[in-house]
Structure 1
Amino acid sequence: MAAIDPIARLIATEEIKQLKARYFRLMDGKDFAALRSVFADDAVFDARASLSIDGQGESGRAAESNDWVYSGGDVIIDFIRAAIGTQRTVHHGHCHEIELLSETEARGVIAMEDQIWDESGETLTLHGMGHYHETYRKEADGWRIVTSRITRLHVILG
């Protein structure tokens, strides 16, 4: 593979950072139609560690997420809509590590923190920290998430 021009690398990296920023903003704003544009049609979202450190919750809410792996952009959006509904959510992503593999493929790790409150906005039901491990593909209309896997360093369920 030929070396990627440094300017093209910087532009691609920034575009991927913007993509992930849109993911967080659109999810928290409950704009599920626009959120769909963040994912490739063939995307896979592994959310098994959404409610536990290792994705192997033994009981209660943590066990609910043990099988949360979704394929297809539409299916992923349906899952996210059902999982957070009208709950108040705050997701922050930072410290993006993006590796450009080619002019149209990349992978990255994004540190994250999320907080979710019940529908009244008064009771915190989840506070977690961890990472998104992702792959990206540049399509005709821009970069898209192809695979996304959540890992947790710490999670508190309320």
Structure 2
Amino acid sequence: MDAYDQLLAIEQIKQLKARYFRCMDTKDWAGLRAVFCDDAVFDARSSLNMDGTGEGAGAESNDWVYHGGEVIAAFVRDAVSTRRTVHHGHCHEVEILSATEARGVIAMEDKVWELADGSPVLHGCGHYHETYRHENGMWRILSSRLTRLYLKLG
């Protein structure tokens, strides 16, 4: 790929990740499903704890690894449909590996509250470590792994 095509691909991947955050926060489940490849893998074990091996309340996420775009979208929907979420992604590091493959690390911050009473659920910061595939004319997330640098439950 020449420099122009690489820059275009990087921008498209940044837009893809922005769409992921927006669709989750606005509860656009069809849009969220569209950001993932059919054979995507989502490792969310650090959703509720720092390293995916937490104890107590955070242990619930220790086994959260999901396979397939439909399954991933359903997991996210079920996890946040009764909650207000705000996700910010920034500092995108994207490396184009070929015309159809890329990888990246995206810094993130998320805040989650219960819709019913506004009580806080979590505030966290960390990174998404991802791979992407260009298929059917667009980039999609092939794999995504969440890591945490900070997490406060409740």
Give the TM-score, by structure 2 length: 0.98
User: Structure 1, residues 134-154: CA drift from partner, whole Å, max 9, x if none?
Assistant: 000000130000000000000
Give SS of 2:83's match: coil
Instruction: List gaps (5 residues or longer) in structure 1.
Output: none
Matches within 5 A, 1:1-158: 4-60=1-57, 62-120=58-116, 122-158=118-154
Residue 152 of structure 1 aligns to which amino acid in structure 2? R
Give SS of 1:35's match: helix
- Looking at structure 1, the residues matched to 85 and 13 of structure 2 have their Cα atoms a distance apart, in angstroms, of 22
- Looking at structure 2, the residues matched to 104 and 19 of structure 1 have their Cα atoms a distance apart, in angstroms, of 15
Instruction: List gaps (5 residues or longer) in structure 2.
Output: none
Change (3 A) 1:24 1:121: farther
Give the share of equivalent positions with the same residue, in percent. 65
- Looking at structure 2, the residues matched to 146 and 59 of structure 1 have their Cα atoms a distance apart, in angstroms, of 31
Give SS of 1:12's match: helix
Shift of 1:121: 5.4
- Looking at structure 2, the residues matched to 94 and 15 of structure 1 have their Cα atoms a distance apart, in angstroms, of 14
Which stretches of structure 1, 4 residues or longer, exceed 4 Å deviation after superposition? Answer: none
Residue 78 of structure 1 aligns to which amino acid in structure 2? A
* Residues matched between the structures, number: 154
User: Structure 1, residues 79-121: CA drift from partner, whole Å, max 9, x if none?
Assistant: 0011111210000000000000001100000000000001235
Query: Structure 1 residues 112-121 or 132-141, which shifts more?
Result: 112-121
**Contact 1:88 1:121 (C-alpha < 8 Å) held by counterparts:** no
**Contact 1:96 1:111 (C-alpha < 8 Å) held by counterparts:** yes
Give the TM-score, by structure 1 length: 0.95
